Structure 1
Amino acid sequence: MSLVSGQRVELRIPGAEHTLGVLRHGHFGRPVLVFPSENGRAEDFESNGMVGAVQDLVDAGRVSFFCVDSLDGWTWSANEQPTEERAKRHLLYNRWLEEAVLPYIEQELGGRLPIITMGVSMGAYHAVHFALTHAHVVSLGIGMSGNYDVTTWHGWGETGDATYFANPMHYVAGMEGDHLDWIRQHAAVLLVVGEGPFEWEPTRSLPSTRDFAALLERKGIPHQLDVWGSDSAHDWPWWRKQLAHHLPRFC
């Protein structure tokens, strides 16, 4: 097990010659898989003060952050592509997470532990989506200032199965029977959002978060909704405060 904190490693994308990076902070503790904001990199979490906001947890060995690069520029942010094509491309990112990142985390920690996923802005979507679709290894997804309906992201063109199964607002609505019962037993979601600048427009994080929380409530999926006030903006200073407020009770 590596005890090096802040060391970046490159992990190959399955079936491609390219790699994406993972950056670890912390030597022990609850593993937290961190997704950056749109088009972000693994380094963004530390450079924007998020590690420092919970440095006491890191130093005490209560948490290890595994921060990953995004592939948004080729997937969800490729607005010249129709929504369905972007959703299909997103499957490759999921494969990288499943086949490269999860084994790396398990290797680093010497075994499989319940993982927390978290992210801000578009990273919130990634964190919550991955938690709901990988509840066998992720026990909690934390989304801060997220929009959970991919069809609202400059979407165009006809959509199909790829979009449906990448869109929490759609596939959660369609959950039923044994699968829904299993999700109720194994998944949990924490949604945090503010009422201040940029949480409504252009991100639509506030209405999307409220709508998604209402959907989770209807489906009986364990979740918490924490709405901060009108001074709480779609920006790093507030995400630092929100992380410091919530993370200690889970680690």
Structure 2
Amino acid sequence: MLVFPSEQGKAYDFENNGMLGAVSSLVEAGRVKFYCVDSFDGASWSNRHAPVEERARLHGVYETWVLDEVVPAIHGDCEGPVEIITFGCSLGAYHAANFALKRADLFPMAMCLSGTYDPASWHGWGERGDATYFNNPLDYVPHLHGDHLEWLRSRVSLLLVCGQGQWEDTTGALEGTKRFAATLAEKGIRHELDLWGHDVPHDWPSWRAQLAHHLPRFV
């Protein structure tokens, strides 16, 4: 599993916030390995000083690094090419979904917790261009068609999980998750929407519970 951190987070956040501990039995049994990376959000999507198209272009630098450096390192550590599940919480959920949809040959599944999936709406300004379009699932998914769409339908699967408690509304995660699920449904792309209760907030304890609940089904 390739783990993207929450907004402007670090690789060690996954372990430091108890996520690794929540599924330690799966790791100890050899059923899963986690590879955690730093974010690049401060230079890209969270850079409010840059117009949205420049943010998207800079995200491309991060994408290139993940594809050209991180993925080969994972394959090398696993002694050959393996299918990689992407995972992320909050803004990390966007990365998990976007990488899986764009490169389902490498990432056939994404586990996305409390995400929003329209980066152009994150305090964006300036005109949108191709870089924004091709990194915004709510822009490009509705226009998927033909052989590529059929291949995605056969190849990729997304798990979208969100609570309905505190901060899931103010962050836009709840509505964003439901909107993204509806967009995937319209295109017939395999996905699962799992909404937790009104007592489940946008925070690490929720994400620990959600990861521990779902991961055993997939590894």
Q: TM-score range by the shorter chain?
A: over 0.9
Q: Deviations over 1:148-206 (max 9, x none)?
A: 011210011111100000100011011011111111011110000011111011x1000
Task: Give the structure 2 partner of residue 8 of structure 1.
Answer: none
Structure 2 distance, partners of 1:75, 1:243, is 27
Report the residue type matching 2:23 in the other structure.
V
What SS is found at the alignment partner of 1:172?
helix
Task: Give the structure 2 partner of residue 26 of structure 1.
Answer: none
Output the TM-score relative to the length of structure 1: 0.87
Structure 2 distance, partners of 1:132, 1:240, is 24
Structure 2 distance, partners of 1:231, 1:81, is 37
Task: Give the structure 1 partner of residue 183 of structure 2.
Answer: 215
Structure 1 distance, partners of 2:169, 2:40, is 25
What SS is found at the alignment partner of 1:142?
strand
Task: Give the structure 2 partner of residue 205 of structure 1.
Answer: 173
Structure 1 distance, partners of 2:100, 2:134, is 13
1:81 deviates by 0.7
Structure 2 distance, partners of 1:214, 1:77, is 26
Report the residue type matching 2:99 in the other structure.
F
Task: Give the structure 2 partner of residue 124 of structure 1.
Answer: 93
Question: Alignment identity in percent?
Answer: 55
1:114 deviates by 1.1
Runs (5+) with no aligned partner, structure 1: 1-31
Task: Give the structure 1 partner of residue 156 of structure 2.
Answer: 187
Equivalent residue for 1:94, pick from 54, 63, 66: 63
Greater strand proportion: 1
**1:85-164 equivalences in 2 (<5 Å):** 85-164=54-133
1:237 aligns with 2:200: no
1:57 aligns with 2:26: yes
What SS is found at the alignment partner of 1:64?
coil
What SS is found at the alignment partner of 2:87?
strand
1:125 deviates by 0.2
Output the TM-score relative to the length of structure 2: 0.99
Report the residue type matching 1:192 in the other structure.
V
Structure 1 distance, partners of 2:74, 2:130, is 30
Q: Deviations over 1:75-109 (max 9, x none)?
A: 01101111111000000000000100000000000
Report the residue type matching 1:74 in the other structure.
A
Report the residue type matching 1:210 in the other structure.
K
What SS is found at the alignment partner of 1:119?
strand
Structure 1 distance, partners of 2:43, 2:107, is 25
Task: Give the structure 1 partner of residue 196 of structure 2.
Answer: 228
Task: Give the structure 2 partner of residue 22 of structure 1.
Answer: none
Let me know the Cα RMSD of the aligned residues: 0.5
Task: Give the structure 2 partner of residue 3 of structure 1.
Answer: none
Higher RCO (CA < 8 A, seq sep 6+): 2
Report the residue type matching 1:212 in the other structure.
F
Runs (5+) with no aligned partner, structure 2: none
1:167 aligns with 2:136: yes
Greater helix proportion: 2
